């Protein structure tokens, strides 16, 4: 998306230049301008499509009942504070959020440590059959957590980890995607930098902490955000393995908000308040770290 914006900016610059230079090639200038407006229209349309449901959720979370049947129902209500207070205090949603946060942070940190070490071993050390090992790591992509549910459930219970933080973090610690991204990044670091360190007698620990990690900061932050959102959004596994409300995570907690209304109308405004709350931490991270995030996934021109 930024590329499109950059492109538009360039177009406008070029146009301004052409106009300033008294370029009389009028038709070209007009089509150029039209193209710029077209790009913006497309962008707004796409952004609108993505944002619309979220806006509806925000609006609904401010109403008393939150049933939307006609367009006037989309006018914001006045029950916002009441709804959020009820979700956080009465339904203990704050607790769920905290559990989610804890889980996500542990998963991110654990994944980073393991993936950095794995990628380092694959890139910088002479390990026999390391390409095969790397292939095997990639192969685990074919077996995501949901596929492994039954054996995993058994294993976790055998270990006596049921209903604990360990149960919802350890199964997520190995990440083929992260190893892959970090491997590619390490490979892009010029060999001569590693060799200079070798000649200077810089040991592996010092090299990792003072050269490799600082040089990979952008990628590490980007990967962390993605992993955080992934961990934060886990639903099925915590639902299966966690059976006490006190240890439950926010995504499952949402369902509790909805299920509490016995038989009668369920309070959509409450559910939406919870949804908006669960949305906030990932959103905040995305906004704070959007630059390294884009850097990680954009094609870099160097």
Q: CB nearer to other proteins: give 76 or 204.
A: 204
Q: Which of residues 202 and 240 has its CB atom nearest to other proteins in the complex?
A: 202
- Give the span between the Cα atoms of 44 and 38, in whole angstroms: 10
Options 4, 14, 89, 193; binder of other proteins; rule CB under 8 A: 193
> Which SS3 state, helix, strand or coil, does residue 232 take?
helix
Contact between residue 292 and residue 221 where contact means Cβ atoms under 8 Å apart: yes
Instruction: Kindly tell me which residue out of 166, 197, 239, 279 binds other proteins, with binding defined by CB under 8 A.
Output: 197
Q: How far is the CB of 161 from other proteins (least distance, A)?
A: 40
Tokens of residue 32, six digits: 């150029």
Decide if residue 210 touches other proteins (CB under 8 A).
yes
What would the DSSP string read from start to end of 167-193? HHHGGG---HHHHHHHHHHHHHS-HHH
The site for other proteins, by CB under 8 A, has a size of 18
Closest CB 2 distance from other proteins, rounded Å? 22
CB-wise, 220 or 271, nearer to other proteins?
220
Binding other proteins (rule: CB under 8 A), the pick from 18, 43, 133, 202 is 202
Chain positions 21 to 40 lying near other proteins, rule: CB under 8 A, are none
Angle at CA of residue 178, ends 174 and 183, nearest 5°: 115
Q: Does 80 bind other proteins (CB under 8 A)?
A: no
Q: Does 206 sit near other proteins (CB under 8 A)? A: yes
C-beta of residue 100 within 8 angstroms of C-beta of residue 251: yes
- Other C-beta atoms lying within 10 Å of the C-beta of residue 225: 20
Among 195, 243, 260, 291, binds other proteins (CB under 8 A): 195
Cβ contact 156:167 at 8 Å: yes
User: Rg of the chain's alpha carbons, rounded to an integer?
Assistant: 25
- The 213-242 site mask, x for binding other proteins (CB under 8 A), equals -xx-x-------------------------
SS3 235: coil
Confirm or reject binding of residue 203 to other proteins (CB under 8 A): yes
Segment contacting other proteins (CB under 8 A): 69-77, 191-199, 234-242, 272-280?
191-199
Distance CA(262)–CA(270), nearest Å, equals 14
- Interacting residue ranges for other proteins, rule: CB under 8 A: 190, 192-193, 195-203, 206, 210-211, 214-215, 217
């Amino acid at each position: 998306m930024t590329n499109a914006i950059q492109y538009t900016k360039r177009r406008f610059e070029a146009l301004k230049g052409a106009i300033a230079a008294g370029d009389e090639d009028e038709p070209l200038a007009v089509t150029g301008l039209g193209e710029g407006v077209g790009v913006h229209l497309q962008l707004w349309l796409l952004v609108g499509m993505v944002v619309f449901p979220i806006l509806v959720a925000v609006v609904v979370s401010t109403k008393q009942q939150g049933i939307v049947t006609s367009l006037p129902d989309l006018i914001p209500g006045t029950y916002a504070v009441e709804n959020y207070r009820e979700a956080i205090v009465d339904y203990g949603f704050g607790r769920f959020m905290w559990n989610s946060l804890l889980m996500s942070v542990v998963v991110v940190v654990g994944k980073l440590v393991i993936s950095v070490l794995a990628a380092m071993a694959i890139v910088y050390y002479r390990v026999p059959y390391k390409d095969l090992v790397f292939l095997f790591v990639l192969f685990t992509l074919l077996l995501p957590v949901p596929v492994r549910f039954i054996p995993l459930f058994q294993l976790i219970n055998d270990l006596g980890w049921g209903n604990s933080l360990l149960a919802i973090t350890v199964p997520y610690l190995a990440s083929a995607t992260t190893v892959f991204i970090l491997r590619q990044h390490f490979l892009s670091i010029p060999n001569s930098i590693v060799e200079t360190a070798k000649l200077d007698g810089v040991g592996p620990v010092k090299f990792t902490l003072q050269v490799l990690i600082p040089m990979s900061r952008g990628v590490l932050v980007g990967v962390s955000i993605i992993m955080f959102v992934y961990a934060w959004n886990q639903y099925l596994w915590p639902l299966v393995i966690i059976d006490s409300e006190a240890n439950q995570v926010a995504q499952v907690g949402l369902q509790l908000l909805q299920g509490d209304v016995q038989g009668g109308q369920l309070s959509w405004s409450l559910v939406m308040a919870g949804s908006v709350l669960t949305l906030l931490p990932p959103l905040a991270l995305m906004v704070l770290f959007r630059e390294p995030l884009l850097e990680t996934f954009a094609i870099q021109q160097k």
